[in-house]
Structure 1
Amino acid sequence: MAPGPAVRAQRPIVDYHQLVDPNAKWWKNSRIVKRNLWIFLLLITSTANGYDGSMMNGLQLINQWESAFDFPTGAKLGLLGAIQNIGSLGALPFTPYLCDGLGRKKTIFIGALIVVAGAIIQTAAQNVEMFIGSRFMLGFGLGFCTAAAPMLVIEIAYPTQRGPVSSVYNALWPAGAVVAAWLTFGTFHIESSWAWRVPSAVQAVPSVLQVLLVLFCPESPRWLVAKGREAEALRVLAYYHARGDEDDALVRFEFDEIKNAIEGEKVQKQTGWLQLVATPGNRRRMRIIIAIAFFSQWSGNGLASYYLNKVFDTIGITDQTEQLLISAFLNVWSAINAIAGGLYCDRIGRRPLFLISTAGMLVFFVLQTVCSAQFAIHGNKAAGNAVVAFLFLYSAFYAIAWSPLITSYTLEILPFNLRAKGYTIFAFSVSASLVFNQYINPIALAALQWKYYIFYCVWVAFELVFVYFFLVETKNRTLEETAVIFDGLESVAEVFDDNKSDKKDE
C-alpha cells in the first residue's frame, strides 16, 4: 500500500520560492536577524522542558537527593518522574483558549511565570510532598509555554527558514538535557543538599528570560488576522520580511494567503473541536498526529531519558561517576544529532528522515536487547559494554527525526483555526504517553529486567510500518499550501485565484 493520492497532489499555482532572492544572505538582513533572536527566545522553551527530564535522571544518581526523599523506588519514583507531565496535562484544557484568545506571546508569559514560581518552590522543598507539588506547578506552566511557543515560532518564521527553525525547536530538548546532565555531574560532589537544589534553581533561568522579554516579541500575523487586526499583521510581515516595505511581493503573497485561508476556514466553520474529525482530511491529520505523539515517547527512549540508572543496573554499571558521565555524553550526542536532523529536514525531507530514524532505532534496540540478555544470563561483561555502544547508536537515530520533527510536523499539517486545538490533542497524547511510561517503566524494569525491552522491539517495528504507509511529505510548502496534501487542491483554490486576480488588478 503506497501513500494515498493526496501525497502526490499537484503543487499550488504560486511558489513562494520565486519571490525570494536565492542569493540573499539572511545574516546580512538586520530585520531577519532580529526576528531570529526573538525566535531563539521561544526555542529555549524546549530547552527548559528537556532540562527537566535529564535533571530528574541526574538527581536519582545523587545520594543527597535520594536520602532527602527517603530513597524513592517503584511507584513513588514513578510518581516523581511523572508528576511534571501530569501538571502539563492539567494545563491542556486551557491552552487552546489562551493561545487563540489572548495570543501566543501572552500565553507564554503566563506559563513562564508559573514555571519560575514552581522552580523556586522546588529549590526550597523540605519534603517529598513539597517537591512533588512544585514539579506539578512546573509542568502546569510548561504546558502553556510548550503549546504557544512552537506555534509562534512556526507562524513568524521567514518562509524559507520555517522548516529548519521550527524543527530545531524540539531539537533543543536534548540541548536542555545536556545542560542538566553536566550540571548534575558538577554538583554531584557538593556534600550538602545544594547538590540537588542548584540544578532545581537553574531550571528557572529560561523562564525568567521569557518573563522579562517575551511581551516585546512580535505576535503571530495569522493570529492578528484572525482577530481582525490586519493592518498590524501586515506591518509585522513587512517589518521582519521586507525591511518595512508593505508592497513587497513576498509580503503581499504571505498576507493575502494568510487572509484568504483564514477567511475560508471561518466560512467552512473549521473552528470547533468536532472539526478535528469532521472531514476525511482532518481525520487523516489526527491519525498521524496522535500516532507520532505516542511513538515519540513509546520507542524505548523513555528508559534512557528518565531511568538510565536502572538500565545501567541491568548491565552491571553501578559506579555513580561513571553513570553520570555516560548520561552527560549521551545527551551531548543526542543534541548534536537532533539539531543536525532539524537543520537538514528541508534538504532530506520529513518522510525520509522519519523512515531512516525509525529503521535505525529498531536495529539498535534489538541489538541492545540481545546484549542485555547475554549479560543477564551469562554475565558477559563485553555484552554489557556493547549495550552502552548500541544505546548511543539508537539515540543517534532517534534524535535525527523524533527529537526535531514531531512538533514542527504536527503544526505544519494543521490549518490555522484548528492549530491550537489540534496541537492540544498532540500535547495531551505526548503527556499521557509520558505519564504512562514514567510510571510503568520503573515498575516493569524491576519486575522483568531486560525482558521488558522485548516489548519495545515489537512496538518500534509497528512504528516503522505505520511511518511507511501513513506519513506524508510537507517540505517546501507554506503552512497554507500544506492543506492541499490533506484536503485537495480545491481547499486552497480560492486563495490562489484571489492572488491571481490581485496581480491582474495591479
Structure 2
Amino acid sequence: MKNPNPALVGAVPGVYIAGEAAGALFQVFVSDWLGRKRFMMVLCVIVTVGSALQTGAPNFAAFLVGRVIAGFAVGGLIACVVLFNTASSEISPPHARGLVTGISGIGISLGTMVSNWIGLGGAYAPYGQIQWRLPLGLQIPWGIFLFLALLFVLPESPRWLYRHGHEEEARKAFISIHGGSFGSDREAEAEFILMTKVIEAERSQEVDSVREIFARYPKRTIISMASQTMTSLTGVNVIQYYQTILYKALGMTGNNILLLAGVYGTVALIANVLTTWFICDRFGRRPMLLLGLLSVVIVDAYNAIMTDVFATSSNNVAKGFAILGIYLFVTCYYGLLNSTTWLYAPEIVPLPIRSKVTALGAFTHFVVNVGLTEAGPSAFQNIGANYYWVFVGSSAFFLVFGWFYFKETKDLTLEQIAKQFGDDLVPVTEEDIRKLETEENKGDASSAGGSAEKQQAEIEHVENGV
C-alpha cells in the first residue's frame, strides 16, 4: 500500500469488523436451527477460506474481500461460542460458570498476544510481501484445528438438544459435561430435571421475531446488548488496532513500536487469566463490570491528558508514563471487562431468546466498532488525543447505567437468574427426582438381576435422609 491515506488504513480493520457484524446477525437465523456445534463447524470452513484468500490475495481488493469473509465467520463464531461448550453458559455449572465461560475471553487475549508478537517477528523477515503474507497465513491452520475439535471432541449443548427433542442425548451430554461438578448424583439429577422443566415452561413462550423479543423481555434484552456494546465504547479496539500510531506519536521508532505492541498483548493475557481464574466466580459479575468501567474512565482520561501534553515533548520520562497509561488500560479492560461482558450477556436472558439476543448484542458491538475503527486514523490525525474523551464519556454513561441495572448472577443457575428478572422459578419436586431414579434403577436392576423390592428400599432410603 506504500503510503495509504487514513481512509484506507481504517478500511483494513473496518471491513473485517463489518463482516463480523454480518456474521453475528447471521447467527440469529441459523444456529438455533442448525445447532451450535454444526453451525460453528460451517464457520470454521468459511474462516479458513477467508484466511487463505487474504494470504494469497493478488491485489488490495481481493485482500479486502478475504477480510470480509474471515470477519463474517469470526463474528458468527463469537456470537455462538458464548452459548456453547467450554465458552458457554448453557453447559457450565453455576459455581464455575465465570471460569468456564471466561475461557472465551482468555482465547481472545491469547490471540491478541500471539498476533502482536507475530507482527514483530514478521518485521524481521526479508523486506517484501513475506512480511505480511506469512503472518496472515498462520491463521489458516486454526480454523482446521477447531473444525476437527468440534467434530471429534466437543459435545452439543444439552439445552439445545433437549429443546429439539433429543432427550436422551441431552441427558448424556449434561452428565458428560458436568461430571463431578455436583456434590452428588442426586444433586446433578435435580439440576438436569430443573433444566428440562424450565425448557418445557419456556416452550409456551417461544419468540419468533426481534420485535417480540423487545416486547416480552425489554429490560433483559437491553441490559444484555448494553453489556456487549459498551466494550466497543471503552476504546479497546481503537487502542488495540492503532496503538502503533499512539507509540509513534510519543516518539517511538522502528521495531520498538512492534515490541511495545507485543508487550501490550502479553499484559492483556496475564491480566485476563489471573482475574478469570481467581476472581470472577468469587468477586461477582456486577462488581467486576462496575469497577472495570470506573477504571476505564480514569485511565482513558489519564491517556488523553498525558498524550496531549507530552506528544511533542522531549521529556522521555514523561513519554514513558504516557505509554504506561496504555498498559494500565489493557490491564483494566482485560482484567475486569473482557471475559465478564461475554459471560454476562447470555447468562441473563432466557433460552428461547438467548442466541438471538447474544447475536444482536454482538451485532451492535461490531457495528459501533466499525464506526470507531474506520474513523480512528483520521481522528488521531485531526484531533489527536482528544479522541480519548469520546471513550471517557461513553464509559461514564455505562457506569451509571450499570449501577442501576446490572444484577449479580454469581453462583446462580440460569434458571435462578431468570427469577431475578421476574420469571417464575419452576420447582423440582421429590416426585420428579424419585421418578427419574426409579426408571434408572429399573434398568440397572434388570441388567444386574436385581429385584423390585430392592429398588423400593433404595428409594425409601433416600427419602428418609439416611
Alpha-carbon shift at residue 248 of structure 1 (Å): 2.7
**2:230 match:** 295
Quick one: which amino acid aligns to residue 331 of structure 2? A
Choose which of 320, 337, 360 in structure 1 pairs with 2:254: 320
**1:427 match:** 362
**1:209 match:** 145
Change (3 A) 1:268 1:219: same
| 1:499 equivalenced with 2:429 (yes/no) | yes
Choose which of 174, 189, 201 in structure 2 pairs with 1:252: 189
Identity percentage of aligned residues: 26
| 1:160 equivalenced with 2:92 (yes/no) | no
Whole-Å Cα distance in 2 between the matches of residues 267 and 124 of structure 1?
Answer: 51
Alpha-carbon shift at residue 341 of structure 1 (Å): 2.2
**1:85 match:** 17
**1:60 match:** none
Whole-Å Cα distance in 2 between the matches of residues 359 and 94 of structure 1?
Answer: 33
**2:59 match:** 127
Choose which of 328, 334, 339 in structure 2 pairs with 1:399: 334
**2:448 match:** none
Give the secondary-structure state (helix, strand or coil) at the position aligned to 1:398: helix
Gaps of 5+ in 1: 1-68
Give the secondary-structure state (helix, strand or coil) at the position aligned to 1:190: coil
Whole-Å Cα distance in 1 between the matches of residues 162 and 322 of structure 2?
Answer: 53
Q: TM-score scaled by structure 1?
A: 0.80
| 1:332 equivalenced with 2:261 (yes/no) | no
Whole-Å Cα distance in 1 between the matches of residues 175 and 389 of structure 2?
Answer: 54
Alpha-carbon shift at residue 353 of structure 1 (Å): 0.9
Quick one: which amino acid aligns to residue 71 of structure 2? G
Whole-Å Cα distance in 2 between the matches of residues 302 and 88 of structure 1?
Answer: 13
Deviations 1:455-487 (A, max 9, x none): 222222223222222211100011121101112
**2:105 match:** 170
Whole-Å Cα distance in 2 between the matches of residues 120 and 376 of structure 1?
Answer: 39
Does the 8 Å CA contact 1:105/1:219 hold for their aligned counterparts? yes
Alpha-carbon shift at residue 275 of structure 1 (Å): 3.3
Alpha-carbon shift at residue 226 of structure 1 (Å): 0.4
Whole-Å Cα distance in 2 between the matches of residues 327 and 265 of structure 1?
Answer: 47
Choose which of 280, 283, 289 in structure 1 pairs with 2:218: 283
Whole-Å Cα distance in 1 between the matches of residues 408 and 25 of structure 2?
Answer: 30
Alpha-carbon shift at residue 379 of structure 1 (Å): 5.0
Alpha-carbon shift at residue 131 of structure 1 (Å): 0.8
Whole-Å Cα distance in 2 between the matches of residues 100 and 238 of structure 1?
Answer: 22
Whole-Å Cα distance in 2 between the matches of residues 485 and 289 of structure 1?
Answer: 14
Give the secondary-structure state (helix, strand or coil) at the position aligned to 2:288: helix
Quick one: which amino acid aligns to residue 324 of structure 1? L
Whole-Å Cα distance in 2 between the matches of residues 382 and 460 of structure 1?
Answer: 29
Which structure has the bigger radius of gyration? 2
Quick one: which amino acid aligns to residue 332 of structure 2? F
Where do residues 11-22 of structure 1 align in structure 2 (5 Å cutoff)? Answer: none
Give the secondary-structure state (helix, strand or coil) at the position aligned to 1:157: coil
Q: TM-score scaled by structure 2?
A: 0.87
| 1:221 equivalenced with 2:151 (yes/no) | no
Choose which of 193, 202, 217 in structure 1 pairs with 2:129: 193
Does the 8 Å CA contact 2:27/2:79 hold for their aligned counterparts? yes
**1:231 match:** 168
Whole-Å Cα distance in 2 between the matches of residues 91 and 455 of structure 1?
Answer: 27
| 1:472 equivalenced with 2:407 (yes/no) | yes
**1:66 match:** none
Alpha-carbon shift at residue 167 of structure 1 (Å): 1.6
Does the 8 Å CA contact 2:280/2:288 hold for their aligned counterparts? yes
Whole-Å Cα distance in 2 between the matches of residues 242 and 376 of structure 1?
Answer: 55
Does the 8 Å CA contact 1:110/1:144 hold for their aligned counterparts? no
Where do residues 426-465 of structure 1 align in structure 2 (5 Å cutoff)? Answer: 426-465=361-400
Gaps of 5+ in 2: 436-458, 460-466
CA RMSD between the two structures: 2.0
| 1:147 equivalenced with 2:83 (yes/no) | no
Whole-Å Cα distance in 2 between the matches of residues 501 and 165 of structure 1?
Answer: 32
Corresponding pairs, count: 428
Alpha-carbon shift at residue 503 of structure 1 (Å): 4.3
Quick one: which amino acid aligns to residue 429 of structure 1? T
| 1:264 equivalenced with 2:194 (yes/no) | no
Give the secondary-structure state (helix, strand or coil) at the position aligned to 2:83: helix
Deviations 1:153-204 (A, max 9, x none): 3222344322211022123211101111111111211123111111101112
Deviations 1:38-63 (A, max 9, x none): xxxxxxxxxxxxxxxxxxxxxxxxxx
